[in-house]
Amino acid sequence: MYGSVSRGEERADSDLDVYYETRDEAVELEEADPDARAHVFGARSGSLLESLRRGDEMAFAILSDAVVVYDDGTFGSIVEAARRERLEPAIP
């Protein structure tokens, strides 16, 4: 989970932002459901680290805002790699 809810900054009209990666199948999913007030973004395993290496601002937001529900060690490895490689968002 990332975004305003994870930062404790939600408003009455905020949605819940969920990001996940899966090794089970190559999935690219982005679904916003206004009725459920959720934004779910799924990607293949390794996508977040690739995005961080490209300097993608959203990837850095996910990294900094993350409230991790389940981690098999992958997310911790991504955080460590970002620190070790001194990854930073690209300057527009």
Provide the pLDDT confidence category of residue 67 given band limits of 50, 70 and 90: very high
Contact call for residues 62 and 2 (beta carbons, < 8 A)? yes
Dihedral class, residue 63 (left if φ above 0, else alpha if ψ from -120 to 50, else beta): alpha
Instruction: Encode pLDDT of 5-49 as tens digits.
Output: 999 999 888 888 889 888 766 555 566 666 778 888 888 889 999
Across the strands, what pairs with 33?
A: 38
Mean pLDDT of all residues in the chain?
A: 87
Q: Identify which has the larger pLDDT, 86 or 31.
A: 86
